[in-house]
Structure 1
């Protein structure tokens, strides 16, 4: 064989090996991409949110002064990461399947089944008349008349502004501020700075956790975790309680509630609100703030706090102490049986205790939970805080709480 022929054969062999190698590599890459694509599609199908398309949740959003209606559009859905809320069947099913993918699929099916059943609920729930069988005599006649007027006003308002909307809201978030007392079948929606601390004390007494509301400390009330919230139950437990328990909410003039929250959280030492909110507020809204002021976080001025509240790009999020009642308790979606007001707190609260059959000796406590030496926040105190604000700033605060003012029939003397 000639040397030239040997070289040609080697070249042919090399080219053949190279061609087959490239072809094999391309085939491998194609198969790998196909497998990953199939895996991604399967995973997306498993993790696709379960959305109830037929649910008739009517959620009233924000109203602007020109009476345009804006709808809260939070999606009423449950992803697989939220299956932990669904107890019983979901937990039992997941334990019977060894494969991780099998567990996810089974949980997905159980969740889908539960939400399908829940989709049959008609929202909003019907408003029931108050059971007044335990009320004796005419002592509460005036309070009862005021209560019926509030209930009727709120119902009419929600029908007028929320009747045509078919938005959906995340159920567990919607009931996350509602406390449960099973003995007397009470649901109480917490509105901070509207008597909520003493209401929690009352719920603890009703639940047998304390003998007197006056012996329960502030820390035990707020950090003891003695009371269950409605979102800790499964779907059946939530729906049953919403339909059969007496639902109560206590509200307050929005401007008074706002000033009360500011005084409580920023005018007294606070290991949470100063470093979390105070630092961010001073840094963004105080011109030429020094390093010490920013690091300290205390001494926030009311005007700075208002700038934070009205800023659509807040440096730190909202807080329940100044969040709107419409976004805490969803009054146009959950028809509350009892609407109390801070302005007549003791009278309303004690009437409510009579309605639900509380022990005769149990009365709503009238003491100030903290900073007892401070004057209670009232209309005169509010005016002192608002005097440093411009008329435009006062109007913007009113606009921010516009829905709360309307649905609970509060006037606007401070604008």
Structure 2
């Protein structure tokens, strides 16, 4: 049955249509305004720079009360003034990565079962009154005698080397020719950003990264102690230094900025000062082995040592705990470690751990134009020069480093039991790092 049209229906319908039109117009205007604001932010940022445009600073500052329970307890412990003994104890732990089980007078001793005992003796010998006397063969670091012109020339040579290798079509390695946009988000987790000073640091484990991370925390003020930013880098506990929540890294952009992430990354890469520190690839491997398998490390034992012992050391049922294994003198040898690196099954299961992953895979030197390339072999002078270039030398000072003068002999000593054929395969695996960062080919290890 058809409904009879009433006199007011047409007017009511017209008003309804008019209201809908106004609502639609408001929606469209709202959308256009939002798009305009986003574009304005992006173009404003791109044009005037981001040194004073702190998009994330207010969100990334971390309070101790927001940290996990165990971390908060460790953090609170440092709230009281430290005694000299406490500072020295902390210092011993902090330099462990740099000393790397201290290869002082008998490097071969650290490869056998006696290595752990000698290592403990060395660390126990470090006392405050006679620190420099006890660390025989160790350089505590001195001011660079090089002029500014010489340091500039060295940096230009290092940067030019990277540019030449990346442009050389005859040299190929994984990921060399891809665009920055094609780098997966998970591979950008080593790029730490400091918006306060316009700095990006790509950290490389086993290359003084603990202290450089501390420097980034101080500069960005991303971590607070009793509501106040840290001022002394060595006051920052190691567990907080290596906690991912203490740093704002590129891989976190996606969660915060969504589809604009890569565009913002590229703006920062264009505007900010970018740096990294590298090290002789084979010496870095030795360092990684010593610090992760030469001493008791629960995590690395369960994740890596047990599989190594099962696959390469004929232990079908190795001890389940690292303390039990070390008490029984059971731990992977350097030979087992090299076998693990060369085994094709290793990378099929998961990518190399960051402590032995190649630097070119961590920092992408062919996609990121680094402004400064430091080397562990010249850490003190490079660190001092970099802080001056960043104009922050009055705000922070890099902790004095302890370097082993005998590092040039490490490779021959440690690779003595590695077959030459294995050494050649290992060099092929790490050749891009040798070539890109200007380290000489270790010919003494690659030929009989």
Range into which the TM-score falls when normalised by the shorter chain:
0.5 to 0.7
1:247 aligned onto 2:250:
no
Q: RMSD value over aligned CA atoms? A: 3.0
Cα offsets for 1:211-258 (capped at 9, x unmatched):
011222221211272211122123143222111111111111000000
Match for residue 22 of structure 1?
A: none
Match for residue 299 of structure 1?
A: 331
Greater RCO, 1 or 2 (C-alpha within 8 Å, sep 6+): 2
Q: TM-score, normalised by structure 1?
A: 0.61
Report deviation, 1:174.
Answer: 4.1
Structure with a larger share of its residues in helix: 2
Cα offsets for 1:327-356 (capped at 9, x unmatched):
111100111111111111111111111111
Cα offsets for 1:48-83 (capped at 9, x unmatched):
xxxxxxxxxxxxxxxxxxxxxxxxxxxxxxxxxxxx
Partners in 2 of 1:171 and 1:291 — Cα distance?
38
Gapped regions of structure 1 (runs ≥ 5): 1-95, 97-109, 122-137
Q: TM-score, normalised by structure 2?
A: 0.57
Match for residue 189 of structure 1?
A: 202
- Asked if structure 1 preserves the Cα contact closer than 8 Å seen for 2:309 and 2:318, the reply is no
Gapped regions of structure 2 (runs ≥ 5): 1-26, 28-34, 47-145, 222-228
Match for residue 159 of structure 1?
A: 167
Report deviation, 1:383.
Answer: 2.1
Partners in 2 of 1:179 and 1:332 — Cα distance?
18
Alpha-carbon spacing, 1:156–1:264, altered in 2? closer, same or farther (3 Å)? same
SS in 1 for 2:242: helix
- Asked if structure 1 preserves the Cα contact closer than 8 Å seen for 2:310 and 2:318, the reply is no
1:144 aligned onto 2:149:
no
- Asked if structure 1 preserves the Cα contact closer than 8 Å seen for 2:286 and 2:414, the reply is yes
Report how many aligned residue pairs link the two structures: 278
Q: Give the counterpart of 1:238 among 265, 281, 290.
A: 265
Match for residue 213 of structure 1?
A: 233
Partners in 1 of 2:406 and 2:243 — Cα distance?
25
- Asked if structure 2 preserves the Cα contact closer than 8 Å seen for 1:174 and 1:330, the reply is no
Match for residue 325 of structure 1?
A: 359
Alpha-carbon spacing, 1:174–1:299, altered in 2? closer, same or farther (3 Å)? closer
Partners in 1 of 2:233 and 2:195 — Cα distance?
18
Partners in 1 of 2:381 and 2:288 — Cα distance?
23
Partners in 1 of 2:178 and 2:410 — Cα distance?
41
Match for residue 277 of structure 1?
A: 304
Partners in 2 of 1:157 and 1:294 — Cα distance?
46
Larger radius of gyration: 1
Report deviation, 1:295.
Answer: 6.3
SS in 1 for 2:295: coil
